[in-house]
Amino acid sequence: MARRNDTLSMRLSPFQKIYLLLVAGFIVGPFLPVIVQSLAFRWAWPELLPGTWWLEQREKSMLPLAWDYVLSPYSRVWEATVNTVFIGLVVTAICLAICLPVARLLARESFPGKSAFEFFLSLPLIVPEAAIGIALLMIFIRLGLAGSYAGIIIAHLIPTIPYMVRMLAAVYQGLGREFEEQAMILGARPLQILWRVTLPMLLPGVVAGALFTFLVSTNIFLLTFFLGQGQVITLPTLLFSKISGGNLDTTAAGITLIVTLPGIILLIISERFIKEEAFGKGFGS
């Protein structure tokens, strides 16, 4: 480890190191105050670090204040986490099911209006989320979908489908027809081809797309807030209700950290999955 660091620092120029540190700062920076806050007992302006740490007051509270609150049933963190993960998973699954055939079409076939279709694919990302949210709310109230899981899931598909289609179309373009044709000639039926050839070969793209969709879904606040109607709470809406007062107290810091957990866990799983499962041991037999 030490040797690797040595060679690294020898090969990099000061400028390269500064850029790396800058990016690292942007990535890790936002976490630091939140982690510090979650472990503070009292942290008032203008102190640079908490005036009183939890550790000094541990006889008054078993856990850091933030975690004591987060882990208690009053916080509804558990409910929000389950909702967030459930909605994220369902959105990802539906998104994949819709986008796989569409991506295949875009990558392999030509049809009238194809370029227009591709051009307008990103439209939902351009329209402000608030506008989509309000419009959907009007419709969903009439349909009785407001405040339901179904309503939120449908709303989450709007910003996620454009990303997913693009990602999958790109990987489909790299997958020639001949692999599926070869599988057919060898006697494989359509489902066997999908399961044993197409999906494993698309796996890096599918995993990346699914991961991205899940993360976007778990981070959507406005659409969930409008369409959840306070009846379905997720981590982002719970966090918003905590910080809408304008101050980031220790409990909000705790929730913030919880919000990042599903994403981090997923990131680790997918990283291992892509490396070991798909190209190390083989897949689908």
Partner 1 sequence: MTQVQLNSVRKQFGHFVAIENLDLDIASGELVALLGPSGCGKTTTLRMISGLERPSNGAILFDGKDVSEQAVQDRNVGMVFQRFALFPHMTVEKNVAFGPSVRGAPKAEIARKLDEILEVVQLTPFRTRFPAQLSGGQMQRVAVARTLITEPSILMMDEPLANLDTKLRVEMRRFIRDLQQQLGITTIFVTHDQIEAMELADRVAVIFDGRLAQFDTPEHIYRYPRSLDVADFMGATNIYPGRLLSRNRVGTALGEIACPHQNDRSAGDSVRVLLRAEALDMSTGSVESGGPGFQGRIKARDFFGASVTYRVACNGQEIDVTENARRMRDVGDDVRLEIAPEQVWLLNG
Q: Which two tokens stand for residue 27?
A: 């990535």
What x/- string results for residues 193 through 232 when contact with partner 1 is judged by CB under 8 A? ---xx--xx-x-----------------------------
Residue 46: cis peptide before it, omega within 30 degrees of 0: yes
CB atoms under 10 Å from CB of 124, counted, come to 16
CB of residue 196 to partner 1, shortest distance in Å: 7
Binding of residue 110 to partner 1 (CB under 8 A): no
The interface region with partner 1, picked from 1-9, 133-141, 158-166, 177-185 by CB under 8 A, is 177-185
Question: Which segments of the chain does DSSP mark as H helices, in order?
Answer: 2-11, 14-28, 31-38, 65-70, 77-108, 114-120, 123-126, 129-143, 149-174, 177-185, 190-193, 199-219, 222-228, 235-243, 250-272
The backbone torsions φ and ψ at residue 220, rounded to the nearest 5 degrees and listed phi first, read -70, 120
Question: Is the CB of 203 or the CB of 239 nearer to partner 1?
Answer: 203
Question: Is the CB of 16 or the CB of 182 nearer to partner 1?
Answer: 182
CB atoms under 10 Å from CB of 163, counted, come to 20
Position among 35, 63, 170, 188 found at the interface with partner 1 (CB under 8 A): 188
Q: Which two tokens stand for residue 208?
A: 């990346």
Binding of residue 178 to partner 1 (CB under 8 A): yes
Binding of residue 276 to partner 1 (CB under 8 A): no
Question: Is the CB of 168 or the CB of 183 nearer to partner 1?
Answer: 183
The residue ranges that bind partner 1 (CB under 8 A) are 176, 178-179, 181-189, 192, 196-197, 200-201, 203, 278-279, 282-285
